Amino acid sequence: MKKLLLCASLLLVGSASAQMVEDFEGVTAPALPSGWTQVTNATDGGYATTSDVSSTYFVVPSHTQYIATSDDNCNCDKSSEQLISAPVVLPASGADLVTFDYSLGLYYGETGNFGISTDGGATVTDLGLLASTRVGTTNDHGWATASYVITTYAGQMVNFVWTYDDNADWGSGLAIDDVQMVSLPAVDMEMTALTTVPTVLPGNTSITGTVTSLGADLVTSIDVTWNDGSGANSATFPVNLNYGDTYDFTHTTPLDAAAGTAYSLDVCVVAAGDAVVNNDCMQTTVSAVSALVPKITVGEEKTGEWCGWCPRGAVALADMSLSNPSDFIGIAVHNGDAMAVSSYDGNIGNYVPGGYPGGGVDRVVSGNPADFLAMHNSRANMVPPASVSVTGTSDGTNVTVTVSADFVGSLSGDYRLAVVLVEDGVAGAGQANYYNDGASGAMAFPNTGSMPNFNFVGGGSTVSPVFHDHVARALGDNEINGAAGSLPASIIAGSTHSHTYTIAHNASWAAYNMHAVGMLVDASTGEILNAGMSSDVLGLNDVEATNFNVSAMPNPTNGVSNIVVDLAVAAEMSLVVVDVVGNVIYSMENTDLAAGSYQTSVDLSNNANGVYFAQVVLNGTAKTVKIIVEK
Asked whether residue 546 carries a pLDDT value surpassing 80, the answer given is no
pLDDT band per the 50, 70, 90 thresholds, residue 138: confident
The residue among 578, 568, 552, 580 whose CA lies nearest residue 621 is: 568
Question: What would the pLDDT profile of 329-367 be if each residue is shown by its tens digit?
Answer: 999 999 999 999 999 999 999 999 888 999 999 999 999
Residue 545 has a pLDDT of 38
Question: What would the pLDDT profile of 14-61 be if each residue is shown by its tens digit?
Answer: 345 778 999 999 999 999 999 999 999 999 999 999 999 999 999 999
Residues 414 and 339 in one domain: yes
Is 10 within the bounds of a domain? no
Residue type for position 51: S
Residues 346 and 467 in one domain: yes
Q: Domain boundary residue among 485, 509, 533?
A: 533
Pairing mode, strands 144-149 and 97-104: antiparallel
Is 94 within the bounds of a domain? yes
The residue among 353, 392, 329 whose CA lies nearest residue 530 is: 329
Is 615 within the bounds of a domain? yes
Residue type for position 508: S
Is 527 within the bounds of a domain? yes
Residues 459 and 383 in one domain: yes
Residues 514 and 375 in one domain: yes
Residues 43 and 159 in one domain: yes
Residue 580 has a pLDDT of 62
Query: Domain span at residue 223?
Result: 189-288
Residue 419 sits at the vertex; the CA angle it makes with 418 and 423, to the nearest 5 degrees, is 160
Residues 325 and 394 in one domain: yes
- How is residue 220 annotated by DSSP? E
Asked whether residue 548 carries a pLDDT value surpassing 80, the answer given is no
Residues 104 and 157 in one domain: yes
What is the domain-level CATH number for residue 279? 2.60.40.10
Please provide residue 527's backbone torsions phi and psi, each rounded to the nearest 5 degrees: -60, 135
Please state, in angstroms and rounded to a whole number, the distance separating the CA atoms of residues 539 and 517.
15
Is 336 within the bounds of a domain? yes
What is the domain-level CATH number for residue 559? 2.60.40.150
Residues 105 and 45 in one domain: yes
Please state, in angstroms and rounded to a whole number, the distance separating the CA atoms of residues 616 and 596.
15
Residues 516 and 559 in one domain: no
pLDDT band per the 50, 70, 90 thresholds, residue 536: low
Asked whether residue 1 carries a pLDDT value surpassing 50, the answer given is no
Residue type for position 534: S
Is 5 within the bounds of a domain? no
Question: What would the pLDDT profile of 242-287 be if each residue is shown by its tens digit?
Answer: 998 999 999 999 999 999 898 999 999 999 999 999 999 999 999 9
Is 538 within the bounds of a domain? no
347: part of which helix (H) or strand (E)?
helix 342-348
Please state, in angstroms and rounded to a whole number, the distance separating the CA atoms of residues 626 and 30.
66
Residues 98 and 165 in one domain: yes
pLDDT band per the 50, 70, 90 thresholds, residue 622: low
What residues does 431 pair with on adjacent strands? 463
458: left (phi over 0), alpha (psi -120 to 50) or beta: left
Q: Domain boundary residue among 487, 502, 533?
A: 533
Q: Domain boundary residue among 152, 183, 214?
A: 183
- Give yes or no for a contact between 425 and 581, defined as CB atoms under 8 angstroms apart: yes
Residue type for position 379: R
Q: How many domains does the chain have?
A: 4
Please state, in angstroms and rounded to a whole number, the distance separating the CA atoms of residues 38 and 32.
9
Average pLDDT of every residue of the chain? 90
Is 377 within the bounds of a domain? yes
Our measurement of the distance from residue 150's CA atom to the centroid of its chain's CA atoms, rounded to an integer in Å, reads: 35
Q: Is pLDDT larger for residue 205 or for residue 547?
A: 205
Residues 464 and 357 in one domain: yes
Residues 277 and 377 in one domain: no
Residue 8 has a pLDDT of 36
Question: What would the pLDDT profile of 489-525 be if each residue is shown by its tens digit?
Answer: 999 999 999 999 999 988 888 877 889 999 999 999 9
